[in-house]
Amino acid sequence: MTDEDKPSSIHSRKLGRFTRRRLLRVLSAAGISSAAAGALSVDHVRGAASDQVPVAYDVEGNSEGYVPADWYDRLAKARDVRDRLDGEFLPEPASDRAETATERVRDAVTGVWLDAGTGNSEPHVIVSLDEESESLGDARGAVPERMRGIDIEVEVAEREEELTDCTPKQKGDTSQMPGGLSVDFSSEESSARGTLTSRMYDENDYVYRLATAAHVPEAATNGNDCGTQLEGMEARHNGTKIGEVHFVDHENDIAVIEATNTTPLDEVWDPRDFSDKYTVKSTMSKDCVDTFMKDDKKVKKYGVGRCFGTGKITARGKKERAYVNESCTTYWRDCVRWGTFNSIGPGDSGSIAFGPDPGGSDYLASNINSWRWFDYSAGPAGYAIDNTHGYYWG
């Protein structure tokens, strides 16, 4: 019997024996925090129809629902295949995991993605190739067409035309700060502007903080500082100090800011005129991100570069090599890909992509916006930041 023919654990398991411990283990593997996993009981599993699987849509477990078991079964296989190919084609620096791919082939591979089923497709894996690579032909031949019954798509993207930026407003009263507005950093060497996320909750200290992309304050040091060296750096809006850098994780591209003389809000505002305001009550779980893909649902973004952007989540999972300055070069972790090349622009770094909660009201954040490629925008997933450090939007 081949891997493709083997019955899945989802279809073969007996719900009567599906203990709470097993449920917590499965949900944790799905990218859901322990708090969220704890909120789903065995009754949720037993309450599902025979063709359904219970999921938590947010990392806290406050929003829940059911998804088709057949889709989730294939999704689990596709996740495994993506992880396998990621190890072959995108190894960490100095890693010896990539025994099945030569250096020449790896140089042409820019990313390995999971598509959870956009456009009525089945969950599958996407391997992105650099159209300008000299080893493009070798890379095409090295990528298998299928693995474990999961289709593997080879993608060579074409660059979109650059659009013009917008003109954001500055907030005069900084006693309360939402997401979507500007945040400035400066040093003796340089300065940089990015966009604030909505507030983040620190599960370790039980406080709300401001946040933006880590590479924004890193860029303000003109290549001299990275990571913890940035702690204490002042964050400003419209010339007024709103906080100091409290924590930096370059691998998840997050800079958490201790608020001073301001209250972080759980909202994202339209920076053009402050007319549209959206409450972001939590962070999407991995299952929620994949559900958005399956259902072709859109997310949106507000920031001080393009101001507004919207589009569908089309894939996730790529580890992008992030170069900010001579001190900051690493691999970003699990990323979410959405929209187009022009969904974000210079200045939008630190903004979040967010969409309507499938199991309730208001909005859930999918990712922080960090970078863009030929035909999409992307950044580290919120559930990855929560799993790593205990910070989530809400």
Q: What is the mean pLDDT of the chain?
A: 84
Per-domain boundaries in the chain: 9-67
pLDDT in tens, 145-186: 999 999 999 998 776 777 777 899 999 999 999 999 999 999
* C-alpha to C-alpha distance for 115 and 193, rounded to whole angstroms: 32
Token duo for residue 88: 């072959």
* C-alpha to C-alpha distance for 326 and 37, rounded to whole angstroms: 40
Q: What Rg do the C-alpha atoms of the chain give, in angstroms? A: 21
CB 365 within 8 A of CB 197: yes
Between residues 266 and 87, which one has the greater pLDDT?
266
Diameter over CA atoms, the chain? 67
Tell me which residue of 377, 386, 12, 389 sits closest to 162, measured CA to CA: 377
Among 16-30, 99-113, 325-339, where is mean pLDDT lowest?
A: 16-30
CB 365 within 8 A of CB 336: no
Report, as an integer, the average pLDDT of 65-90.
Answer: 90
DSSP state of 381: B
pLDDT bucket at 259, cuts 50 / 70 / 90: very high
* C-alpha to C-alpha distance for 295 and 291, rounded to whole angstroms: 6
